[in-house]
Amino acid sequence: MPFRDIAGHDHLKPLIARAALRGTLPPSLIFAGPSGVGKRMAALALAQLVNCASPVAEDACGECASCRRIARGVHADVLIIEPGETGAIKIEQIRDAVERSAYRPFEGRRRVVIIDDAEHIAPAAQDALLKTLEEPPSGTTFVLVTSMPETLLSTIRSRCQRLRFGRLSPGDVAGVLMAAHGYSEADAHAAAAFSDGSVGRALEEASDAFVEARDAALQLLEAVAKDPPPARRIQASGGLPGAGRSKADRDALAQSLLAMGTLLRDLGVLGAGGDARALANADLKGKLQPLARSFDQDRILSSFAAVDRALNALGRNASPKIVADWLAFQI
């Protein structure tokens, strides 16, 4: 997909695109950053741009034959190398790419060799690659995609220009989950709040459980917001998951506590008059806004500390019921 369809990385994308169009892109690049944030997609967008028949606004069109072939993974000049069943990128795979890069591109203007999960290049294969990076063939760009750039040989790293991809905002992650993975708005925001800025991580987690955990956390905050009498607080704690003693109960409560942390952070953002787009739980803005009036910064900080202590207690095998009851009096 072209750069414009990739979420986030708003400074990096135009930088890469402009350098590619001007022909000033270094022949060897490392796309480094957390997994699941779109590094490989950016490498493919770059391959599309340098081979696109009719670029639009400093980006690939996404529709010409070349763009479509690259998107389908069948373009003769765009090679994607990734770990095989053994988990390693073997020397044969690197040799094949190196041999091909000695020839001019077959159908496109520029050959792009994308090595995904490059930290898995076997040591001998790294040596083979290094020789090519030292004298890069004129028609080929190498892009090493990795979340662990420091595990590459220092000699390889020094031959490549490194571009750092950061984490995505919760809003960007939610947007991708809705647009590309069919998530409902509530599911997308709930999963995004726990994703640590990675679409990949959000997809790994079960979002149903998150939605429930977050709902329970929100209900507790709402129930205690106006500082009700003790009996009501105890009653409210019963709404948290994990009343039993099993490991599953403990995990469910821990998830709710993590959700509460993201809700408290959002209340802090709203209370400080911050940008609502920065909210981890943007879909709950309508419920959080009135709640923010009951939670000043001091209360948010002490609640945060209480959530932290509750998580620690759970980690030390405290009873979920006792932890939930205690927490309901601290917030």
Binding string, 8-37, against Zn ion, x = CB under 5 A? ------------------------------
Distances in whole angstroms, Cα of residue 39 to Cα of each of 22, 44, 57, 198:
21, 9, 21, 11
CB 51, min distance to Zn ion, A: 8
- What's the distance, Cα to Cα, between the start and end of the chain in Å? 46
52 is a site residue for Zn ion (CB under 5 A): yes
- Give the whole-angstrom CA distance, residue 163 versus residue 43: 11
Stretch that binds Zn ion, among 52-60, 89-97, 225-233, 305-313 (CB under 5 A): 52-60
CB 78, min distance to Zn ion, A: 13
Window 249-268: residues binding Zn ion (CB under 5 A)? none
Query: 119 with 150: CB under 8 angstroms?
Result: no
Place of tokens 């770059």: 46
For Zn ion, the closer CB: 60 or 91 = 60
1 is a site residue for Zn ion (CB under 5 A): no
CB 106, min distance to Zn ion, A: 17
Query: 165 with 38: CB under 8 angstroms?
Result: yes
CB 2, min distance to Zn ion, A: 8
For Zn ion, the closer CB: 64 or 186 = 64
For Zn ion, the closer CB: 47 or 191 = 47
Window 53-112: residues binding Zn ion (CB under 5 A)? 60-61, 64, 67
Query: 221 with 328: CB under 8 angstroms?
Result: no
89: DSSP letter: B
CA 224 to chain centre: 33
Query: 183 with 191: CB under 8 angstroms?
Result: yes
> Computed from CA positions of residues 234, 238, 242, 243, in that sequence, does the dihedral angle turn out positive or negative?
positive
Binding string, 130-169, against Zn ion, x = CB under 5 A? ----------------------------------------
Positions in the binding site for Zn ion (CB under 5 A):
52, 60-61, 64, 67
